[in-house]
Amino acid sequence: MPIATDDALAPWLLLIFKLPVKQASGRVEIWRKLKRYGALAMPTAGYVLPSSPANRERFEWLATVIRKYKGHASVVQAQSLGELPSERLKQRFIEARSRDYELILRELRSSKRAQRKLSRIRKRFQQIVEVDFFNSPFRSRVETVFARLDDAVEVPETDGQHAAKRKYLNRTWITRPRPGIDRVSSAWLIRRFIDPKAKFIFGAKLERHPKAIPFDMFGSQGFGHRGDECTFETLRKDFRIRGRRIAAIAEIIHDADLEDEKFGRREGFGLDRALIGWAQQGVSDEELLRRGIEMIEGLYQSISEPENAR
């Protein structure tokens, strides 16, 4: 197995290790981590991942854990792996992720669509996407099923919920100056689905605008981050705004705002950088909001296009 030191010549990372026989629990822990990282077991010895800084960090961390269990571990960069050509190795990764996606599809089709179960399945799907290094064609099939389920969700509103929404009509909403991706998308959501005549103002002191509804304001009782969710997600849940496009935008805004890669969505990062660039140019808060709302509307319309039109 040729070993390379130049990343450009070393497309693969190989973790070779040995644990003491008595470390049964440690062996299970390592195996679970390898499975979570999407590593493939080699026929002879070791586990392989495509070479990347993230995968290198994962293998190095596992090697440290193995050594703590009194084992031996090495992480090497490999240009090739024995008699297995790189294209065949890539195909093995695709096949492994395809099997994972097929299990998700079976679970979705047999599920009664209880919300708790769907959330768990969706989380598992995102974990698979994270290690789908070579883009299995089965991913789009799973996304299509999720889209159908999102579109099929209909939750009737009670009179009390209608009344709760009415109190937010024709109101002024307040947020912090220099709006970013979460706040402009929240403003778009408010105006499109909650309060079509909403007015937006910017300020740091709520007492100067006692009748305004705060959103994404630190320390306020209005709408903002809740747990590990951004303001857009809070508004979407509180006002029961459903649908495939809104669900997709919620994932996009979450990942761009919180940068935790929860949903593996990258589309929002470019929008966020554009807003940051305009802010650095001295564009006013009102103009930032206007441009941001237009961008989110464009994103919304693009998601609504039929798959065969892309």
SS3 146: helix
Token pair 């695709």: residue: 94
Which of 38, 65, 84 is the last residue in one of the domains?
84
Q: Is residue 302 part of a domain?
A: yes
**CA 203 to CA 217: how far, in whole Å?**
9
DSSP state of 81: B
Looking at the domain assignment, is residue 149 inside a domain? Answer: no
Q: What is the pLDDT of residue 310?
A: 36
Q: How far is CA 94 from the centre of its chain?
A: 21
DSSP 184-251: HHHHHHIIIII-TT-EEEE-S-GGGSTTSEEBS-TT-SSB--BTTB-HHHHHHHHTT--SHHHHHHHH
Domains: count for the chain: 3
State how far the alpha carbon of 185 is from the alpha carbons of 7, 21, 70, 173, in Å. 39, 55, 51, 14
The pair of structure tokens assigned to 250 is: 């919620």
How far is residue 153's CA from residue 257's CA, in Å, rounded to a whole number? 26
pLDDT at position 117: 74
Are 245 and 299 in a shared domain? yes
End of a domain among 52, 69, 84? 84
Identify whether residues 177 and 218 lie together within a single domain: yes
Give residue-wise pLDDT tens across range 127-142.
Answer: 898 899 998 988 888 8
Which CATH number do you get for residue 22?
3.30.70.240
Q: Are residues 175 and 129 in the same domain?
A: no
Quote the domain boundaries for residue 223: 159-309
How far apart CA 101 and CA 118 sit, in angstroms, is 15
The pLDDT of residue 12 is 94
* Whether residue 73 sits in one domain with residue 22: yes
| Two structure tokens written together for 143 | 């996304």
Residue 63: pLDDT over 90: yes
104 and 200 inside one domain = no
Beta bridge partners of 73: 17
> What is the band of 9 on the pLDDT scale with cuts at 50, 70, 90?
low
Q: What is the pLDDT of residues 237-291, one digit of tens each?
A: 999 898 888 999 999 999 999 988 888 888 999 999 999 999 999 999 999 999 9
pTM higher than the cut 0.75: no
Question: Is 284 in the same domain as 297?
Answer: yes
Q: Is residue 145 part of a domain?
A: no
Inside any domain, residue 143: no
| Stronger pLDDT, 205 or 29, i.e. the higher one | 29
Residue 55 and residue 13 in contact, taking contact as beta carbons nearer than 8 Å:
yes
